[in-house]
Amino acid sequence: MFAKSRNVNLKDRPRLKIASLKIDSTTLGLSLLLLVVIIGFSLAMPGRFFSDATFMSVAFQLPELGLLTLAMFIPILSGGLNLCIIATANLTSLLMAWVFLTWLPPDASMAMQAVWLTVALVGSMILALVIGMLTGALVAYVGAHPILVTLATMTMVNGVGIYLSRGAAISGMPDIVRFIGAETLLGVPVPLIIFLLTAVFIAVFLERTRLGKYIYMSGSNINATHFSGVNTHRVLIAIYVISSMLCVIAGLVMMARFNSARMGYGDSYLLLTVLAIILGGTDPNGGFGKVAGVVLSLIVLQVISTGLNLLNVSPHFSLAMWGAVLIVVLALKFFRARFLQKRAGRMSAAKARAAQP
Give tens-digit pLDDT for 29-62.
888 888 988 898 888 888 888 888 888 888 998 9
Q: Is 57 exposed, middle or buried (0-12, 13-18, 19+ CB in 10 A)?
A: middle
CA–CA distances in Å: residue 24 to residues 20, 29, 134, 281, 292: 11, 9, 38, 10, 11
Question: Residue 190's closest CA among 284, 99, 96, 253?
Answer: 253
Residue 280 reports pLDDT greater than 50: yes
Tens of pLDDT, residues 135-183:
999 999 998 899 999 999 999 999 999 999 988 899 888 999 999 988 8
* pTM of the entire predicted model: 0.87
Question: Residue 143's closest CA among 77, 210, 223, 71?
Answer: 223
